[in-house]
Amino acid sequence: MMPDETPQQASRWAGARFALPLGAFLALAILLGVGLGLNPREVPSPLVGKSAPHFELPQLHRTGENFSEKDMRGKVWMLNVWASWCAACREEHPVLVALAKSGALPIVGLNYKDKREDGIAWLARFGDPYQLSAYDEKGKVGIDYGVYGVPETYVIDKQGVIRYKRIGIVTPDIVKNKILPMVSELNREK
């Protein structure tokens, strides 16, 4: 206590002494609380806004034919990375089937590190929302697209630029509030 402080001033000091640590504690608690709510798997992708990396892969069904991202030039389309071994893909699948049925945009699959017959059987069993699937047996194209958790989804514009990336399941909410508005906007672009 300072020599010329009155008791009132002293009690104000004591108040600050409680308020400061309490405030600091609350700030830290809020910071950590928000941190807990974030998903550490959602790493911001440096690919959004860049040209989709070039690739050329055999198709899953028509083994003799190749697919390249260049085949989709001039279209707004979706690239969805999936695999028959991926449990989350099954959860996502009905959403993609519904989206494909709506005809909002063509969906191309990238069958990632899968066995060809497993991939084909999986689509036969659960329905095939894809215009076609490219077959990335070794996962090399996956690396070029920064894939690390299947499923991953990209929306690519007419110029071949990645405009949106989703790591993890595409939910009906994301389709309705994010993808569909974006697609109709991108379709208006030249």
Binding site for another protein (CB under 8 A): 1, 3-7, 40-41, 43-47, 53, 113, 138-140, 142-146, 148-149
Q: Which residue has the tokens 């300072």?
A: 2
Instruction: Kindly compute the dihedral angle of the four CA atoms of residues 37, 40, 46, 51, in this order, to the nearest 10 degrees.
Output: -90
Q: How far is the CB of 180 from another protein (least distance, A)?
A: 27
The nearer residue to another protein, 93 or 165, going by C-beta atoms, is 165
Write out the two tokens for 19. 């308020």
Q: How far is the CB of 67 from another protein (least distance, A)?
A: 20
The nearer residue to another protein, 45 or 171, going by C-beta atoms, is 45
Q: Strands 162-167, 66-68: parallel, antiparallel or unpaired by DSSP?
A: unpaired
Q: How far is the CB of 41 from another protein (least distance, A)?
A: 8
Nearest CA-CA partner of 100 in 117, 80, 125: 80
The nearer residue to another protein, 129 or 142, going by C-beta atoms, is 142
CB-based contacts of 93, cutoff 8 Å, min separation 6: 126, 127, 129
Radius of gyration of the chain (CA): 25
The nearer residue to another protein, 148 or 172, going by C-beta atoms, is 148
State whether residue 153 is helix, strand or coil: strand
Q: How far is the CB of 115 from another protein (least distance, A)?
A: 14
Q: How far is the CB of 3 from another protein (least distance, A)?
A: 5
The nearer residue to another protein, 37 or 44, going by C-beta atoms, is 44
